[in-house]
Amino acid sequence: MDIIPEHGETESLRRMPADATGKMGLCQPGGVMSSMADSMEEAILEATMEDLRKVKELLALPDTTKHELIMALGFLYQSAKAAVEVAEMRGERLA
C-alpha cells in the first residue's frame, strides 16, 4: 500500500485523533498504532473530564473573576471540541 491510500482503500483504515498541528492520521485497526489511538482518545476524554471538574470548582467559588471564567471557558471549549472528535471517530468505527 502506498503512503497515500488510493480511492476506496481508506474504508478499512481507522482515523486517529489529530495531533497538535491539527493533522489527521489513518492506521490499520488492531495494530500498535490503533492501540496508540485508543490511548490518545482515552487521554482526550480524561482531560475533558478534568477541565469540567475545574470549571465546576471555579463556578462554586464566590471570588472567581471574570478573567478566570473566560480562561476556563477557552480550555473547556478546546476539550469539548476534541471530545466531539473522539465521539465522531468512534461512531465511524461502529458504522
Q: Where are the domains of the chain?
A: 9-94
Residue 62 to residues 7, 17, 52, 56, 75: CA-CA distances in angstroms? 57, 37, 18, 12, 21
In this structure, what C-alpha cell is assigned to residue 45? 476524554
Tell me if 2 sits within 8 A of 50, measured CB to CB.
no
Task: Tell me the mean pLDDT in the region 80-90.
Answer: 94
Q: Are strands 14-16 and 25-27 parallel, antiparallel or unpaired?
A: antiparallel
- Predicted confidence at residue 85, as pLDDT, reads 94
Confidence band for 1, pLDDT divided at 50, 70 and 90: very low
> φ and ψ at 26, to 5 degrees?
-125, 150
- Predicted confidence at residue 7, as pLDDT, reads 53
Contacts with 16 (C-beta within 8 Å, 6 or more apart), sequence order: 24, 25, 26, 27, 33, 36, 37, 40, 89
- Predicted confidence at residue 83, as pLDDT, reads 95
DSSP 8-state secondary structure symbol assigned to residue 3: S
Task: Tell me the mean pLDDT in the region 1-29.
Answer: 72
- Predicted confidence at residue 9, as pLDDT, reads 54
pLDDT tens string 21-75:
888 889 988 889 999 999 999 999 999 999 999 999 999 999 999 999 999 999 9
